[in-house]
Structure formats: C-alpha cells, structure tokens
C-alpha cells in the first residue's frame, strides 16, 4: 500500500533540505525531530500585490510530532523558537508550524 510519508521522509534528509531539531513538549522529555525550516518565508499580499516576509515556519511529519501544541518550543541549531500556530496535517502528512523567537 502506498504511504505518502515515505516520499516525504526521503525529502527530510538533514544532509540536503531538512534540519535536525529538538521539540520540547509541555510535558515530557525533549524529542529529536527533523524539520523543513524556512527562516524568512515570503507571501504575496493579495490586497497590494506586494511580497511580504512572514514569520518563520517549519514543516514536520505529523506522526513524528503527535500532540505538538502552541506555546511549546523547537530548537533549530542554537536558536529556540516558540510555536505560535499548528496547521492541520496535509494529505501528505505534513504539519506547518508557525514560529516566533519571542515567547507568547
């Protein structure tokens, strides 16, 4: 049976695109995870047509971060980010985490 996370896992290679990271849940021990991280993602403002920089985001395989929540942290390299939003998983099994360097 086809499992879309197999294709995603092949992209989550820390030697290529992904970052070895640590998720610190509100309860329990820190967990090593692999994230696709974008420090300065850009979006088009539909009202003005201008390109704007948005908050940093990371994408994770949903089954690797079961229970991840707003207010918890991820550490990427030496920088700790607070999770400010968590999307629903995509059809491919990825979550989008919106991040901030500032505590909520």
At 24-77, the pLDDT tens digits run 999 999 999 999 998 877 777 888 888 776 789 999 999 999 999 999 999 999
Give the angle subtended at the CA of 53 by the CAs of 48 and 54, to the nearest 5°: 105
The torsion angle over the Cα atoms of residues 53, 55, 58 and 59, rounded to 10 degrees, is: -80
Question: Tokens in use for 16?
Answer: 């290529």
Among 67, 74, 78, residue whose Cα is nearest residue 100: 74
- Cα separation, 102 vs 84, in Å, equals 10
Among 60, 103, 54, residue whose Cα is nearest residue 83: 103
- Residue-level pLDDT at 43: 74
User: Which residues are within 8 A (CB) of 30 and not within 5 positions of it... i.e. 6 or more apart?
Assistant: 22, 23, 24
- Give this prediction's pTM: 0.80
- CATH number for 4-100: choose from 2.40.10, 1.25.40, 1.10.150, 1.10.260: 2.40.10
- Averaged over 4-21, what is the pLDDT? 70
């Amino acid at each position: 049976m086809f499992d879309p996370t197999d294709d995603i896992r092949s992209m989550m290679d820390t030697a290529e695109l992904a970052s070895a990271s640590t998720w610190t849940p509100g309860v329990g021990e820190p967990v090593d995870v692999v994230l696709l991280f974008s420090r300065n993602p850009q979006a088009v403002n539909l009202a003005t047509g201008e390109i704007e920089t948005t908050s940093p985001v990371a994408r994770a395989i949903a089954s690797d971060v079961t229970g991840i929540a707003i207010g918890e942290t991820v550490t990427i390299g030496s920088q700790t980010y607070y999770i400010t939003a968590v999307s629903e998983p995509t059809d491919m099994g990825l979550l989008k985490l919106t991040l901030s360097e500032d505590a909520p």
